[in-house]
Amino acid sequence: MIKKRLGREESQQLTRDKLFDTATELMIRKGFHAASVNVIAEEAGFSKGAFFSNFASKSDLLLQLTQRFKRVEIDRLSTTLTSGYSSEQLSHGLNAYIDTLKNNTRCAILDAELQLIALRDEEFSQHYYDLHEENSEALGKLITIIFNHAGKKPPLEHAALAKTFTALAEGLILQGHEDPAIEIKLVLNSLIQTAEPL
């Protein structure tokens, strides 16, 4: 095994990644305001200076953090959609997706935090909603496949459909609900049953 020597760029990417992860963790645990630059840097094992070598400002971190957070979800959904799975497999996949991703307290809290910031900060708003829309579109397509698989036409367009389920999942978690899977499935099945046939 060859000891890998990191180049400057790789090394910095490592620093940046560690800062991202720590910042995400702290934003979830304490919120954006309480997650101070100093604490983020130190908990990541660096100094304040390293933070500002990697991010122009704290709000720059927020932008990039959001980008990364949403991109991960979008990529996961896109992969599922473009892979050659049958609609049945996708349907099962969605159930898993609902069970795992949306049943993820940490993601829900972070998303709520970001949404509150978006509602108050116009500049951030644009950034967030673009990504959120893309995410919702992808998730909506996936949910639509389930409806279709049951021979039904979903009652809402892609994004609206996805947002409904996201609202359900995240809204329940915010209320302290540990696992919103039951409610989500209840609503999903009910909507499928009452939906118009294809």
Residues that bind its own copies (CB under 8 A): 29-31, 33-34, 109, 112-113, 115-116, 118-120, 129, 132, 136, 155-156, 160, 163-164, 166-172, 174-177, 180, 183, 186-187, 189-191, 193-194
How many residues make up the chain in this entry? Answer: 198
- Integer Cα distance of 195 and 154 in angstroms: 6
Tell me: does residue 86 bind DNA (CB under 7 A): no
The closest of 34, 39, 37, 43 to 61, measured between CA atoms, is 37
DSSP state of 90: H
User: Residue 8 has which token pair?
Assistant: 């400057």
- 145 vs 191, beta carbon nearer its own copies: 191
- Integer Cα distance of 86 and 69 in angstroms: 28
Tell me: does residue 47 bind DNA (CB under 7 A): yes
Tell me: does residue 87 bind DNA (CB under 7 A): no
Of 1, 2, 4, 5, the residue at the interface with DNA (CB under 7 A) is 5
Sequence letter at residue 14: L
- 10 vs 157, beta carbon nearer its own copies: 157
Tell me: does residue 148 bind DNA (CB under 7 A): no
Q: How many CB atoms within 10 Å of residue 104?
A: 15
Contacts of 30 (CB under 8 A, 6+ apart): none
Q: Taking contact as CB under 7 A, which single stretch among the options 53-61, 134-142, 157-165, 180-188 is the one that binds DNA?
A: 53-61
Summarize as ranges the residues that interact with DNA (CB under 7 A). 5-8, 11-12, 14-16, 33-39, 41, 46-54, 57-59
